[in-house]
């Protein structure tokens, strides 16, 4: 019995330590806007537990992400961009605005990244945000898709906490009826054995 329990615990620990990526499709679509953001936009809330977050975009769109539960301290967040090649030779241009507190429409944060261009010669780009010794546990990102289509991104960081949060809209999974039946049968056998010893 001890061996079984130890193996089960190791199995659970291994699955908790594995990489958990939240995709835009899993989330049901991140908050986004066409054109410059207006007073109606909000940030998509992303709780702790994901090792990476990925999404897509196209010209004149913006994704708004709020990461909460970050590990405070000297951390970095890396945003990698790429695009799906097609017949077009046009550039795909992106930029990122970020802050450690929410920012309002028409008032983007004062920490923008430079505009980054991708093309056949340079199909990927990356930007790294450094928090120094900041004690913040929140990151607000505005990802700007300035031109082109088929652009994708991946956000990773050691600051992301390790306990997975449930994905939005995912209900709790109930235990199958067989588990309850098996547990009740074990309990009945235990009572039966106890009565036999008492008799």
Which structural domains are found in the chain, ordered by start? 18-192 (2.60.120.380)
The model's confidence at residue 9, banded by pLDDT at 50, 70 and 90, is very low
Per-residue pLDDT tens over the stretch 108-155: 665 666 788 998 888 999 988 887 766 678 888 888 899 999 999 999
3-state DSSP assignment of residue 43: coil
Per-residue pLDDT tens over the stretch 154-190: 999 877 755 444 444 444 445 556 655 677 777 777 7
The answer to whether the CB of 53 falls within 8 A of the CB of 46 is: yes
Q: Read off the pTM.
A: 0.66
The answer to whether the CB of 123 falls within 8 A of the CB of 85 is: yes
pLDDT of residue 80: 94
The pLDDT mean for the chain works out to: 73
Residue 86's closest CA among 40, 121, 47, 120? 120
pLDDT of residue 167: 43
Token pair of 119, please? 């093309």
Query: 163 versus 69: which is more confidently predicted?
Result: 69
pLDDT at 39 over 60: no
pLDDT of residue 8: 32
Q: Alpha helix (H) ranges present in 2-115?
A: 2-17, 24-27
Average pLDDT (49-70) is: 88
For 45, the enclosing helix (H) or strand (E) is: strand 44-46
The answer to whether the CB of 137 falls within 8 A of the CB of 69 is: yes
Per-residue pLDDT tens over the stretch 45-56: 888 778 899 999
By DSSP bridging, strand 111-112 and strand 31-34 are unpaired
- Return the number of other C-beta atoms located less than 10 Å from residue 65's C-beta: 23
Of 35-39, 53-57, 61-65, which one has max mean pLDDT? 53-57
The answer to whether the CB of 56 falls within 8 A of the CB of 122 is: no
């Amino acid at each position: 019995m001890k061996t079984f329990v130890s193996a089960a615990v190791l199995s659970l620990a291994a699955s908790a330590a594995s990489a958990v990526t939240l995709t835009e499709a899993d989330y049901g679509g991140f908050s986004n806007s066409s054109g410059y953001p207006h007073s109606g936009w909000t940030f998509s809330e992303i709780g702790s537990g994901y090792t990476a977050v990925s999404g897509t975009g196209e010209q004149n769109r913006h994704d708004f992400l709020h990461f909460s539960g970050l590990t405070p301290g000297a951390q970095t967040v890396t945003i990698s961009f790429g695009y799906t090649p097609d017949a077009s030779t046009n550039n795909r241009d992106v930029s990122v605005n970020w802050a450690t507190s929410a920012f309002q429409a028409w008032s983007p944060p004062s920490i923008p990244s430079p505009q980054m261009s991708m093309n056949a010669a340079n199909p990927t780009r990356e930007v790294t945000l450094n928090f120094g010794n900041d004690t913040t546990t929140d990151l607000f990102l505005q990802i700007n898709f300035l031109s082109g289509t088929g652009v994708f991104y991946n956000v990773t960081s050691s600051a992301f906490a390790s306990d997975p949060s449930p994905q939005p809209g995912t209900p709790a999974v109930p235990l199958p009826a067989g588990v309850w039946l098996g547990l009740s049968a074990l309990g009945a056998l235990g009572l039966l054995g106890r009565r036999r010893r008492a008799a």
